[in-house]
Structure 1
Amino acid sequence: MEKLREKSDDPLVGCSLPGGHVVIELIDVGGMGRVYRAEQKMLGRTVAVKIIHPHLLGDETVEARFITEARAASQLNHPNSVGVIDFGKFEGRLYMVMEYLRGRDLATVAHEDGPLEIDRIVDILMQALAALEEAHAIGIIHRDLKPENLVLSPLRSGGDFVKVLDFGLAKVLEVARGRGKRITDPGMVCGTPEYMAPEQARGDNVDRRADLYACGVLLFELLGGELPFDGGTPRETVLMHLTKVPPDLRALAPHRDIPDQLLDVVYKALAKDPSERFQSASEFSAALKDSTTVEDTTDRPSPLPLRRCRECDATMPRSQKFCGECGSPLHVGSEVPPPPGESAPPEPQVVQLPLPLSGREDELGWLWERRETLHFALASATLAGPNGVGKTRLLNEFLSQAEERGDRVVSVGPDPWWVERSYYALQHAITGLAGLPEHGGDASDWTGISSDGRAGLEAIFDHESPASRRMARRWADTPPAATEGSSTRALAAEALRWALSRAQGRTDGGSVILAIDDLHAVDGASCNAFKDVISEPPLVEALLIAAHHSRFDPGWENAEALALGGLPAKLGADLIGENGGGSALLTGAEDDAERRVLPMYLGQLVRYTREGGEEPPGRLA
């Protein structure tokens, strides 16, 4: 920590907050406070710490409001909401510990990626609305939705994963700055005027519909490239929200070809009267989904080969994103029709993604050998390899075939937020194997389980009872040697053994297969349970198989391992063909039969070629 302090002038860098959070570096400063990257030493995970500006905390009212809102926000348990891990006071400053996000905010995405596709805009808004739906259900109103409070992370399958930040903090800011004043008092603006609902601008009490209005502003801005109301000053902008009608969106973005139904959604969301807007986030989301439902397009003409630049009127190949004359972005919808009497040239053969699984016959055979050698005993196996080698794809193909043959297949992985939430993988493994409800059920669902297993389920699913506390104490007094005194760990493994046995009893002639993908990113508590069950297996015919990075050691005793490598370059070139960039792979491939390429690189190469790239990268980006 002393080294961290020496490298930074910020007095908070290097400090250790309550709960073992060590501040590492400042990453952002906003109107609410300063945001730092920190490390939670006990768990070894990266977190974000927001420390509220001291000048906002002038009295006890503001502090009480912060604690109330932070406690409420910590109850949010939705994938699209940023998780609040801890909050409190440190050296007179209020702080909040949240999950650390690796991504770009929506304002940055819109600026860097140019005009976003309509389908992408709708997907982003629907994810944000899903987060709002849960928050509204427990009485939390965001009050300050704007592009900077939506963070987008890319998914490996393509698309965006949206996280909504700062639930409830806008109300804290309003109390801190307003001291009871209305937002339209001279010089007094709470929240962000560009996204503020009329009733919020008037200082009225707001409800969920104010957040839905802000979502309407976001939708208008992303579709039209401009805000619906943007005055020269905050006061003028607020007055426009109160009095002006939103401009014609189609006039702002004639190239968009916005569907009529989507326009209706935008203007309903921006209604001045809350009673005329959508009344819930789910209603708004359903309307968005319906507005972009695509009809059958089999009889529509194929895409046209050219686009026209809106700035200099030059025509460019459809594959280009920017004009070669003036450098302006080329917009979707600006295609140029062919001359009269001529038809558009035929489209090149398009490579379909994802690419088919190829060249993995031996590896699939190896997996089936592990499956066929099960004789009323539990076996384990691992697939290891670098990122992009196709571990998940191979594993899923094997599981699909096994399920078709009558095996009971349960597949789990790390939590979708990649924050290593305790017991996440184990919870899903147990519910899938034993056929329990998502929350784990209760004692009436746990038939045939031992007292140790029951205590384990109560710990895993947070169903604490006097019996589970007594059992944990008993384990602590006389711990089994395999668990080295870790009482909850031993109980969790016993619960998994019961689930495997129950799954065997519910399988009609087949075997049980439990697959864990990305084991290297699974939470430690779940990893320990899987490892302990392999060390002391139940008497069931089951296969535990995991895929993980080659640098990770799962510690599975006697597990058979298969190391995955890339595909032959010649096979990769055949898979994607000339139009997919296959020629880039063929250079030297005939002379080097050992040359290998990663399957994920093949997909990247196809996308790169489609977007007009001429010199593809030589390896996985």
Structure 2
Amino acid sequence: MDTQNPTYSDDELTAALAEHLASFDRDDSYRVERVLKRSDVETTELVCFEGSGGGSLGPFVRKRIDASAQIGGAYERLFAAQRAGRRFEHLPRIVDCRRAGDELDVVMEYIEGETLEALVGRLGATPDYARGLFPALCDAVAELHAGFGEVGKAPAPIIHRDLKPSNIIVSGVRYAADAGMTFSSLVIIDLGIARAWREGADADTAKFGTRPYAPPEQYGFGQTSVRSDVYALGALLFFCLTGVDPKPGIDMREQCEMRGIPASLTDVICMAMALDPAKRFASAGALGRATRAAYDLSCPVRPPAPAPVPVPDCAPASETVLTSQEPRGSTDLPKLATPAMPGLLSRIPEPLGRIWNTLVCLSLLVFFAGSHFAVFHPTGANQSYPTWLLIIEYFFFVDGLMVLMHFALLDKRRLRRRFALLDSYRGKKLAKLWLKALGVLLLCMIVIVAVANATGVVDTSTA
């Protein structure tokens, strides 16, 4: 998780940076700390501004955007609105925005926190996101949809078009299964492909997006609108509740039921992700309210908390004595009938899971090498067996057994996101399939040995 310790207020930051940029050539004043990500049309860097006296400001995030791809205009609109005095709670503060030929350079504040993707990976999937954090995310998108209109002009909604877990930054998160989730701020980042809605347009000029979170109209089937971001928000809600991306082309209700999502929240997701934009929620705010109501419906009704005992005269006025034996704060949030506790695997960062998978694959390769040696360089009793029997024994049975054992050891989170069929097998269902495969291997080997002994092709009784 990247963090920073800001030492400037917004006004101080703007004034200091404006003075700094006025004194130096902008390009020479940048010191690139590292490249955060790169694509064909955009490069994102972590930078600092350096003064002539050795002082520096930062870190900041700089985006170098290929404006010829007809993207990046939302940053210019946001920069103009912020310079006019507007403040946005859920959008980054832009400190510099300028064009140089076909390149748009945008410098903005560095947001402290972790992505929603990292947060769900760390805490695990839980319905508690639907109570507080997700409605706040809907409010943040609604702030974007309110637009950045010029003075004297009606604002046009800004459609993000790339809402996904890695583009949401959340700070100050605290979570406990019995007390719920709290957080201090939520910011939407990466407005590179965001666009302003245009009255009468048939389709978007430039077609971009991330497949699991992009609606059909984003790929040339119509103009994107606020309901396009509603579709992406529905996919984000599915991610928060399950920890995996939705699978394009598979019925969303089936995916929700397969993951055990409560019926009320399933209805919200399916409406938000309807293929027909007209059947989706009309706004991000409406989706947020529906999600909170669905969460409340999925929770049992709890009896009211007992009234506090009056404070004795000798006690401080700000204290109360609770008659309930529950810990403080436990009555603040309703409890789910079947709370989704984060599993042990979900607490392990995915990079560690990839390292583990690499070690498992290396171990499997060692076993394959041993099988190859045993077949073509037999020793002991194996020397009396024909090569074809050794091939069947080692390449089919031993290697098959090793594949099954190593597959059971894999961290399958990325595989499940990539292959819908594998994602449908979990827990007991996966264990039954694994045992069936093992049984088939054993049965085939027994039959082969029995037939070989019966026909006299090979005699294994003396082995």
Task: Report the TM-score, using the length of structure 1 for normalisation.
Answer: 0.37
Tell me: higher relative CO, structure 1 or 2? Use CA pairs within 8 A at least 6 residues apart.
2
Taking structure 2 as the reference length, the TM-score comes to: 0.49
Q: Which structure features the higher share of helix residues?
A: 2
